């Protein structure tokens, strides 16, 4: 069975093709964790997180029971915020001990610690893990949290969550959206398995309930291929 494509002016088709390619290959979608480099060279593992166009880099030091992380994500709006958190008691947001990065009143990036006791209440203050170092950066539309935290010596795995939001009011992050990509922003790190792999990727940090980054990338490539075939068919019909 043949499919008939409506005849479009060639120039219109070319414009549509160009715009579509820009969308499908935008930097936020194409960038992967192994291409991101940092000056401190602390991180032996990285993973492309399955939601919010984000990535996590980390290194666990067994001798000092410390975890060094770099979390990278674009806020949902330019003056928004990003967050990475450990949840010591459960999966999900409630109970998380969070590091939240945003611009302060002077426009400089800062990192604050918050205890997320409920969906409606967050409080700035000390968290249940010692934060040895923390700082934040903002470049190319993304924010970055760099931190080292002290973990219990007996901890072999940990639940973590990540999140982005659109605004900050008087030094307090405003509630994020509750879309599927926000609600699925959670995972688990198996600390004893975070060993460097050949391509600087490991499944240890991948969320247990979310599709793997490679699956997501394959789906995007398939969609792009089908779309391009339709465009080529439209050009030929002209």
Tell me what pLDDT residue 193 has. 64
Mean pLDDT over each residue of the chain, to the nearest integer? 77
Which one, of 157, 167, 202, 160, lies nearest residue 185 by Cα? 160
Measured CA distances, 199 to 31, 113, 151, 172, 206 (Å): 15, 32, 27, 38, 15
- What is the fold of 38-210? Immunoglobulin-like (2.60.40)
β-pair partners for 159: 87, 188
The order of strands in the sheet holding 45-48 is 45-48, 55-61, 66-73, 142-150, 131-139
- Dist. CA 236–CA 172, nearest whole Å: 55
Least confident of 93-97, 99-103, 199-203: 199-203
**What's the pTM?**
0.71
Q: Hey, what's the torsion of the CAs at 178, 117, 160, 56, to 10 degrees? A: 70
pLDDT tens sequence across 25-57: 334 444 578 777 777 667 889 999 999 999 999
What is the number of other CB atoms lying within 10 angstroms of the CB of residue 7?
Answer: 10
Confidence (pLDDT) at 36: 75
pLDDT digit string (tens) for 138-196? 999 999 999 999 999 999 999 999 999 999 999 899 999 999 999 999 999 998 765 44
């Amino acid at each position: 069975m043949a499919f008939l494509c409506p005849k479009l002016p060639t120039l219109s088709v070319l414009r549509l093709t160009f715009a579509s390619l820009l969308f499908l290959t935008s930097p936020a979608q194409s960038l992967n964790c192994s291409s991101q480099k940092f000056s401190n060279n602390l991180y032996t593992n990285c993973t492309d997180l399955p939601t919010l166009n984000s990535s996590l880099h980390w290194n666990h030091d067994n001798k000092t029971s410390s975890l060094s992380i770099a979390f990278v994500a674009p806020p949902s709006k330019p003056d928004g915020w990003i967050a990475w958190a450990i949840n010591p008691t459960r999966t999900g947001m409630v109970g998380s001990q969070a590091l939240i990065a945003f611009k302060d009143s002077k426009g400089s990036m800062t990192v604050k610690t918050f205890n997320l006791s409920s969906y409606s209440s967050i409080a700035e203050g000390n968290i249940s893990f010692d934060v040895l170092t923390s700082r934040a950066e903002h470049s190319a539309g993304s924010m970055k949290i760099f931190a080292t935290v002290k973990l219990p010596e007996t901890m072999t795995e940990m639940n973590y969550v990540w999140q982005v939001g659109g605004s900050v009011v008087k030094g307090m992050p405003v509630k994020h959206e509750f879309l599927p990509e926000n609600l699925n922003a959670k995972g688990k790190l198996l600390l004893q398995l975070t060993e460097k792999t050949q391509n600087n990727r490991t499944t240890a940090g991948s969320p247990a309930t979310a599709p793997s980054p490679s699956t997501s990338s394959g789906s995007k490539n398939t969609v792009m291929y089908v779309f391009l075939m339709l465009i080529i068919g439209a050009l030929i019909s002209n």
